[in-house]
Structure 1
């Protein structure tokens, strides 16, 4: 079983590097709330985090999470793509069997817990796609005037948000894709939680009726509650790029490391270097990446604002 901590660089939400989906939900929510356009999407995120909170509740034992919770959640997140692919071809009622076969999780984990964890993973992907679109939009604003935007961010949040809103309106296709993906992921999560509830009912009945197993009688409602359509993703390319070991993920991690090292070097040489000068140095002198990309990773590394 994998450790509950996720490999560095695997998941980033609104500029926050996630290492544990179980223990860092407060930090993830805080990172999302700090997005300039968060108020416009408050209800979306409220719904998603509500599903995540409910999904994690399946792991509560005497007001504490069970010992296996963190590692199971990390494992299912890492294996989310193969689980989706196999579940799409299987009978929906056997989702827990698919999860067990692919992840080899602790046999003591209940079916309801595994299915609820799948819901948690789907809802988390929904939060990620929406939050990261908003984060990328915000980072793009710094193309206008680095120092001015940094000043507005600190001194006049309303004007700063207005600039981000203008940037958002420049490409509505990206927004449509992000919102559609968000809704698909949340639809999957909602259906999975329906399954988890039914599985929980089965487990409770089976325990109370030791001589009689009723699981087979609920096979039909389980099947109808979760159609194969729930597993469809927005695009094959998007799915491939979400894999932790994909070339895109590895390149992103390498670029972030280069930006971090170069930023530290320039700041050490000139502690008073401005934000625009720092970006210019990394783009023009060091040739690491484009201005938007450099800005993104400087913000992620907490080098901006300065």
Structure 2
């Protein structure tokens, strides 16, 4: 949805809406800085966006508003409310069938880079263990989550079901003048064998640079569309020439699949060189 809104900024502007340009991690046009500010007790980004919107209706998008809802301190929420004084805030929330959401969120938690304050990113937990995590249990309680969202942010909440025409509901609820009602699937899950491989790598303590290298390689081999994995190769390349050379397709090859075996062998050699990494047989 974020890519869709970003692609239609001109049409939205003509209809009186402002979707600010902000590129977050992995090239996603979303407004993660609002979440970062709130967690730190600030509200600088929201004030800036409101100023940019002027007399237009401001559209912002970041799933972190629910993922981190219970992390926001009172100081941040107070500043958030003050910045919105005199304005009406509506949160559009897309809810997915709980078990399907759990599986999707679990894959994200396995692939994500480590961050200090979320202990299940780059997780080594099994799916059943992950489902019992207190934070995940809270996010799975959808009625309570939406009620807490309304209370903590002081907003109205419009709910749509992921399995239904949620984009149509969004356009209808906010009078969005765009006829397109289908969005390409941007996060097709990688193969199951790879998810389990990454989970075991996470358990080994493998550095994020090597985790990104694996993600980039599998993304190319499978021609996947997972947003995070799509940019994993570029992230890995920033770690240095040795890792870059590992993932580059050589000129003259007509089909990337011709290089799959060679690349895997080279990447395995690279991983084995790290004594902290454990490559399953």
| Higher alpha-carbon Rg | 1
Q: Which of the pair is proportionally richer in helix?
A: 1
TM-score bin (small chain): 0.3 to 0.5
Normalised TM-score (structure 2): 0.32
TM-score with structure 1 setting the length: 0.30
Q: Higher RCO, 1 or 2 (CA under 8 Å, sep at least 6)? A: 1
